Amino acid sequence: MDFTGQTVIITGAASGMGEATARMFAAAGAQVVVVDRNAEGASRVAAEIGAGMPLAGDVSDSAFCDQVVAETLARHGRVDVLVNAAGIILRANALNTTDEGWQRMMNVNVNGVFFMSRAAVAAMKAQGKGAIINFGSIWGDVGAAGVVAYCASKGAVHQITRAMALDHALDGIRINAVCPGEVNTPMLASGRDKAPSAADLQALADTTIPMKRLAQPEEIASVVLFLASDAASYMTGSMVAVDAGYTAR
């Protein structure tokens, strides 16, 4: 896929699936705007892929999201693609989820997607074309024990995706979500009592995943690029599971 001449904003681009997506878009010729609250990681990725100065900040701040789009327009004159990859996880049941933890999950995973999408849609509507790919999750449609806030937040992302896709179907803006299963990223290991070993992760794959292996970030990123491309021109409002058959059962 060729994205030469297109401008792509990617949040959460300093690590994991966001980083893999940034690298893949850059390799496909896109002008990538790297966004992450981790300024050091964002600077590293931006330098390595030949992107301009990264934008460091918190997507839960609507003013920052507006600033990202405004700065992108100032640099490149347009916003062709927005990838909302920024996200966090809280591993806790309801009784162990604090007010602060719940609010932080919603602020980043839900508000961040909405604020960035709202800002990008305004620019894309003026252009008459654009694509937004949100990072949902298999747990946005099916439940899982011990991650109630995360499940709720990703369910909200799926509904934002569907509703905004309908709102902007006639504006030339396609809005879809990629819904990963278990992916070998720092988030998979985060928030646990102890860091899982390679054997622990393989045991997780053996017991929960039909293909019996974790996804690599690039396998998710490749689907993001497809959804952003003209090859997916008849797709909007779709939740695309990339989960090795997890939700097929």
148-158 tens-digit pLDDT: 999 999 999 99
pTM of the model: 0.95
Determine the average pLDDT of the residues in 40-63. 97
Per residue in 111-122, pLDDT (tens digit) is 999 999 999 999
Q: Which of 150, 157, 158, 180 is catalytic?
A: 150
Determine the average pLDDT of the residues in 196-203. 86
Domain 7-185+216-242 belongs in CATH node 3.40.50.720: yes
Determine the average pLDDT of the residues in 96-110. 98
Q: What is the pLDDT of residue 189?
A: 65
Q: What is the pLDDT of residue 190?
A: 66
Q: What is the pLDDT of residue 105?
A: 97
Mean pLDDT of the chain: 95
Q: What is the pLDDT of residue 204?
A: 85
Let me know if 246 is a catalytic residue.
no
194 pLDDT higher than 80: no
Q: What is the pLDDT of residue 185?
A: 84
201 band by pLDDT with thresholds 50, 70 and 90: confident
Q: What is the pLDDT of residue 192?
A: 60
- Give me the DSSP letters along the chain: ---TT-EEEEETTTSHHHHHHHHHHHHTT-EEEEEES-HHHHHHHHHHHT----EES-TT-HHHHHHHHHHHHHHHS---EEEE-------B-GGG--HHHHHHHIIIIIIHHHHHHHHHHHHHHHHT-EEEEEE--GGGTS--TTBHHHHHHHHHHHHHHHHHHHHTGGGTEEEEEEEE-SBSSHHHHTTSSSPPPHHHHHHHHHHH-TTSSPBPHHHHHHHHHHHHSGGGTT--S-EEEESTTGGG-
8 pLDDT higher than 90: yes
Q: What is the pLDDT of residue 188?
A: 74
Q: What is the pLDDT of residue 119?
A: 98
Per residue in 205-248, pLDDT (tens digit) is 899 999 999 999 999 999 999 999 999 999 999 999 999 999 99
Determine the average pLDDT of the residues in 82-92. 97
187 pLDDT higher than 80: no
Determine the average pLDDT of the residues in 20-49. 98
